[in-house]
A and B are shown apart, each in its own frame.
Chain A
């Protein structure tokens, strides 16, 4: 996030409110601005599967906070203006129907980046180099038109087509992958003309805060690969803020690296709580940061999160199994299952045939 994006704060409030905000939050803004300068242009830009009218996808590094507290998932991300007129959009699959979609806080994602990439460490590196569906809700945030949809993959695809978007060729499979587990999608469509009229610059992010009451929190990861070619890289920073240390599935490993895993500092929680719409931040929490760095072809899962203390994250929520319990990503295993069923059927047929050929006296 470049320092200029902090100026978005003043666009969202009247002058007096902005001044109050600036006075009370100057220390935070200063730190965030400094961190933004150091971290480069894209560390807090975020979006998910992007659907353009020409099918083009252009995703940089994405950053997301998925916080889970008292049965509510707070999903915060930012949609970055890519420039130009017209419309382009993003799809985010959600675990359940959101109770609220609103403008996100002004510095939450940047503050999280600051927490897990301390200024001192980054300063050292600066010298080396300087980020058929049912419409449930419709919300306008700045130049973003946000629509919460309920429907299957084909329904969402039809909605996108009706709204002038061309889906990438992997979209049918990816949308089914999500719709089979949760038929809720959020479509965020950037009105390029409105963004230009608002004076938004390329790279300016519009933070969005989605509040989702759910007993089954998960973070969509596979959608990040939507529209990419198999060898393309997917890079993302995923922050989790939970009541206790979460159990994750898949467990961190190659392509999904655990880079921060400790109790959140009081300073961080106080700073986050001071941001707009963030008063729900608890007094204590656990902060986890994961980095996704994976080939698009390998990113065929989501992140299941269990904060119950039972260390039992759901394979279904992670997208590792389908609702019918058939393995989702192992064609070999799936075909083995099919062939086993076919073999069993043929075996039964032969057994019945042999049984039928036996003399009546032998049969019981």
Chain B
């Protein structure tokens, strides 16, 4: 009986891992990994009006950026010359083999792109989507 119970618990745990997420599909804690110059996941969904903590883990041996915002932000960064981003929570430089954590609050529902604006990275596909849903 104990063995059956532990088996069922194990299967339930596996199911929980496979089908993760909250009722509305949003999460206040998200990890974005970077490997071979690609963001995973490519789409993240967070709630509006509450602090969201995003962990950015760079598994690559080269530096990357995670910049999120409306189109005009990306347009500015496409031609920008700032070597490092560290002051603004929506603009984060992630050095090789390192992790950065940023916490931000989005006031209203929206959909923004997150992009690495280092030369050639956006064209290579370092683009993702951040969906902000009303709670």
**Interface residues, chain A, CB within 8 Å of chain B?**
54-56, 153-154, 157-158, 161, 166-173, 175, 227, 229, 349, 353, 356-357
Contacts and interface: CB of A to CB of B under 8 A. Distances in A.
A161 B62 CA distance: 8
B80 interface: no
Interface string B106-118: 0000000000101
Nearest to B11: A349
Given A169-B118, A169-B121, A229-B123, 5 more contacts: A161-B63, A166-B119, A169-B126, A171-B62, A349-B11
Contacts of A56: 119
Contact of A153 (B35, B61, B121): B61
B60 A55 contact: no
B120 A169 contact: yes
Contacts of B60: 172
Contact of B61 (A154, A349, A353): A154
A341 to B, nearest CB: 15
A166 B96 CA distance: 12
Interface string B24-40: 00000000000111000
Given A56-B119, A229-B124, A170 B96 contact: no
A169 B96 contact: no
Contact of B36 (A54, A161, A173): A173
26 contacts: A55-B118, A55-B120, A56-B119, A154-B61, A154-B97, A157-B61, A157-B62, A157-B96, A158-B96, A161-B96, A166-B63, A166-B118, A167-B61, A168-B124, A169-B37, A169-B62, A169-B120, A170-B124, A172-B37, A175-B61, A229-B120, A349-B11, A353-B7, A356-B3, A356-B4, A357-B4
B73 to A, nearest CB: 20
Nearest to A231: B123
B87 to A, nearest CB: 22
Contacts of A353: 7
Contacts of B35: 172
B4, B35, B60, B123: which has the most chain A beta carbons within 10 Å?
Answer: B60
A229 B125 CA distance: 10
A157 B97 CA distance: 11
B19 to A, nearest CB: 15
A54 B126 CA distance: 18
Main secondary structure of the interface of A (DSSP, over half): helix
B120 A227 contact: yes
Contacts of B3: 356
Interface in B82-135: 96-97, 116, 118-121, 123-124, 126
Give 8 closest A-B pairs by Cβ, nearest first: A157-B61, A169-B37, A154-B61, A55-B119, A169-B124, A173-B36, A172-B60, A169-B121
Contacts of B123: 229
A175 B36 CA distance: 10
Contact of B37 (A161, A170, A229, A349): A170
A227 B62 CA distance: 13
Contacts of A158: 61, 96
A173 B37 contact: yes
A349 B8 CA distance: 11
Nearest to B8: A353
Contacts of A167: 61-62
Contacts of A227: 120
Contacts of B126: 169
A344 to B, nearest CB: 15
A357 to B, nearest CB: 8
Interface string B52-81: 000000001111000000000000000000
B61, B118, B120: which has the most chain A beta carbons within 10 Å?
Answer: B61
Nearest to A167: B62
B119 A54 contact: yes
Contacts of B121: 169
A115 B7 CA distance: 72
Contacts of B63: 161, 166
A353 B9 CA distance: 13
A207 B62 CA distance: 30
A169 B61 CA distance: 10
A36 B36 CA distance: 41
Nearest to A346: B14
Contacts of B4: 356-357
